[in-house]
Amino acid sequence: MANKFRSLNSKLFQLARSSIQRTSVRPRTSFPGRGSGFSGNRKLLGALGALTGTAGLLIYALESSVDASSDCVHPAHQHWNHKGLLSALDKESVRRGYTVYKEVCSSCHSLQYMAYRNLVGVCMTEAEAKAEAEAITVRDGPNEEGEYYERPGKLSDHFPSPYANEEAARSANNGSYPPDLSYIVSARKGGEDYVFSLLTGYCDPPAGFALRDGLYFNPYFSGGAIAMGKVVDNEVVSFEDPNVPASAAQIAKDVCVFLKWTSEPETDERRLLLIKVTLISAFLIGISYYIKRFKWSTLKSRKIFFIPELEAQAKREAEEAAKAVRKAKEQECNKCENQNEKKD
């Protein structure tokens, strides 16, 4: 299929080049848009349009073929409440997702770009976020004596990393490096669907599939072998709300919503700004239409006519006005002269 698209693309490219050559040597007419020049331009534009459309179809076909040749299963589309244009993130789900991250994911994965102050107003109050920050120990310094010391965490501190450096992380995970989860949803194709399928898609490997020690089979991971074991299971965490079941699907969903928030903390603000801009733009467009339609209607509908009779009448009126002005000036001068004579 890709070869057919390439051959069709080359033919259209040759057609466009020949059209350009024919129109380039053709003399320009005095009236552009008429005659043979116009038909040549139409052919050229048609060829360029067909070439552009074919290039787009070729790119789409190549991308589809690459996706089809992938060795991993494509994640199924899940229903997410925050996917709507006017929908917001579920703050309760974000709070439960933070609990899942803290109790399950934080032992291997970091959130180095998120601070405890980011939790305030989203899924926690300031007092709750401050208590979460004080539960960690931060190495700070140097102090006045030049020594480093340990202190309780503050709201301005970022989430701690489970390992001191990359080498320690690889040593603890059989050579694999657990990625940072701050932007994992935005960084993976499929977003929340991929992360959800990865967390819930562990199964036994098919016959003939060999796994090295320390690896687990997951059809949603490239290659099928992943170093992270199955960490999401029923009742692996307990939620504050007893009405929310701690099933594997619910746990995976909540942590995906939390990671969506860490990837794009400003999502709700952007959508709110979109609503404001839309309303203000509609108001301004209405005012602009009113001004154009009514205020400028007299100027748009104004017509100028040349009528000889009116021109002659205007000349006579101008001459009479000039005579009246001259007569008024003469009378004023005579009056001044008479006054001067009386004084003498």
pLDDT at 21: 54
Q: How many CB atoms lie within 10 A of CB 259?
A: 26
**% residues pLDDT > 90 (the chain):** 54
Write the DSSP string, 163-198.
SSSHHHHHHHTTT--PPP-TTHHHHSTTTHHHHHHH
Is the pTM here over 0.95, yes or no?
no
**For residue 27, pLDDT beyond 50:** no
pLDDT at 80: 94
The strand pair at 149-152 and 137-140 is best described as: antiparallel
**For residue 45, pLDDT beyond 90:** no
Q: pLDDT category, 48, cuts 50, 70, 90? A: confident
**For residue 324, pLDDT beyond 60:** yes
Q: pLDDT category, 49, cuts 50, 70, 90? A: confident
Q: pLDDT category, 39, cuts 50, 70, 90? A: low
What's the rounded mean pLDDT across residues 43-55? 85
Q: Is 120 helix (H, G, I), strand (E, B) or coil?
A: strand
pLDDT tens for 222-267 read 889 999 999 999 999 999 998 999 999 999 999 999 999 999 999 9
| Spatial contact of 128 and 134, defined as CB atoms under 8 Å apart | no
Q: pLDDT category, 31, cuts 50, 70, 90? A: very low
Instruction: Could you list the residues known to form a binding site, using ranges.
Output: 105, 108-109, 228
Region of poorest pLDDT, from 38-52, 161-175, 211-225, 262-276? 38-52
Distance separating alpha carbons of residues 19 and 42, to the nearest angstrom: 10
Residue 262 burial by CB count (10 A; 0-12/13-18/19+): exposed, middle or buried?
buried
**For residue 149, pLDDT beyond 50:** yes
pLDDT tens for 284-308 read 999 998 888 888 877 777 777 777 8
Who's near 76: CB < 8 A, 6+ residues apart? 193, 197
**For residue 131, pLDDT beyond 80:** yes
**For residue 161, pLDDT beyond 80:** yes
Q: pLDDT category, 37, cuts 50, 70, 90? A: low
pLDDT at 73: 86
pLDDT at 341: 76
Q: Which amino acid is at 78?
A: Q
What's the rounded mean pLDDT across residues 66-74? 67
pLDDT at 172: 92
Q: How confident is the prediction for the chain on average, in pLDDT?
A: 85
**% residues pLDDT > 70 (the chain):** 85
What's the rounded mean pLDDT across residues 80-96? 92
| Spatial contact of 194 and 207, defined as CB atoms under 8 Å apart | no
What's the rounded mean pLDDT across residues 129-152? 91
Place of tokens 């001067």: 340
Instruction: Could you list the residues known to form a binding site for heme c, using ranges.
Output: 105, 108-109, 228
Q: How many CB atoms lie within 10 A of CB 64?
A: 12
What's the rounded mean pLDDT across residues 99-114? 96
Q: Higher model confidence: residue 295 or residue 325?
A: 325
